[in-house]
Each structure stands twice: as C-alpha cells, then as structure tokens.
Amino acid sequence: MAKILTTKKQTKSAVITKVASLLFREKGYNAASMRELAEQLNVEAPSLYNHINSKAELLRNICGEVAEAFTNNLDEITEEPISSSKKLEKLIRFHIKTTLSNFDMLFVANHEWRHLPEPWLSEFLQQRKNYENRMVQIIKQGILAGEFKNHQPQVAALTILSALRGLEFWQKYNKLNNVKALENNIVQQLLTGIIK
C-alpha cells in the first residue's frame, strides 16, 4: 500500500497535477489514462479521487495556471514606464524563460487545451484572446512611437507568439547550452530578423 509522496510545500493534488503534466505532454490528454497516472505515483487509480475531482479538472488546473502566469506577467509589463520595444522584449523573454523552466505544463496548455470541457474551454480561449489583443496594443503603440515597422500589428503579434509556442524544441538545450545566450539569440532574431 504505497503512498503519494509530498514535500512540505506542496499538496497531494499539486503532486498529481505535476505528474499529470508530464504524462499529458508525453502521450496527449486522451491517450494518457488515469491508471497510467496512478502507476507513476505508485498508487491505484481510484485512490487519486481522494485528492482530485476528475481528469478534466487536472487539465483545467494546468491550463489555468499557465494562463494566469502569463496574464500576471503581462499586467506587470504593461504598467512599467518603458518603451514599447522594451515591453515586447520583456514579454518575449518571459515566454522563453517559462518555456524552459515549466516545459510540461506549458506544452500541455499550448497543445491539449482543446480537450477542456465547457465552460472551461471558452474561458481559456477568452483569456488567450485577451492576451493576444493586449500584445497587439503594445505593438500598435510601438508603431505610433516610431519604434516598430509599419506591419499589421495582429500579424506581427501572432507571428511572434507562433514562434514562441514552438520553443518546446529547445527543452533539450536547457542543460547543454547557456540558457541566457539562447534567450538572447531568439530575442534578437524575433525583433530584428535574420537578414543583414
């Protein structure tokens, strides 16, 4: 009769959610079974339900936590008295850092959100849309201030977000390379392009 191991700081449901992040990333939400999740925690599947309400809620908690982290960061950036290009740069750096440090959760939030049941799905998409819109605003301000090229702001925002969402591929570089150097490299490329 094994037990779910916790450290002092985290609840059992937090531990389950963490392992679920890993599993959902590796196999996808639907292909990952509760029995498999339980096995990784050295416990039988029904035991999980002493700590969580449903599989779907695990996904919701993962997506919600990610969305909240990014929203909070954007709140902070928005209030800072810095130029639009500095704001954009800070936003990009936060994406990169978070991707490298919270790989599993971020991957799940980026790729498995469509399996959220309603009303969580609509909530999540609304948060995403808000985030995009606020980023578009920053770019618009940068164009007005003469800092940015006169691109379509929405195209610019979504192209950058696209690039940042694909950053999962850099996870393996987390230990190999100098993370800061990688971050700088990506920031430079997204802001100023590749052509001389």
Partner DNA sequence: ATATAAAACTAATAACTGTTAGTTTTGTAA
Partner DNA sequence: TTACAAAACTAACAGTTATTAGTTTTATAT
Of the candidate residues 101, 133, 174, 189, the single one contacting a second copy (CB under 8 A): 189
Nearest Cα neighbor of 70 from 50, 91, 53 is 91
Q: From residue 6 to residue 45, what is the string marking binding to a second copy with x (rule CB under 8 A)?
A: ---------------------xxxxx--------------
Do you know the residue count of the chain?
A: 196
Q: CA separation (Å) from 39 to 13, 20, 45? A: 15, 11, 8
Nearer to a second copy, 4 or 135 (CB): 135
Nearer to a second copy, 13 or 84 (CB): 84
**CB-based contact 94:73 (threshold 8 Å):** yes
CA 132 to chain CA centroid, Å, is 14
Nearer to a second copy, 53 or 188 (CB): 188
**CB-based contact 166:188 (threshold 8 Å):** no
List of residues contacting DNA (CB under 7 A): 1-4, 12, 32-36, 38, 43-47, 49-51, 54-56
Binding at 163: pick from DNA, a second copy, none (beta carbon under 5-8 Å per type): a second copy
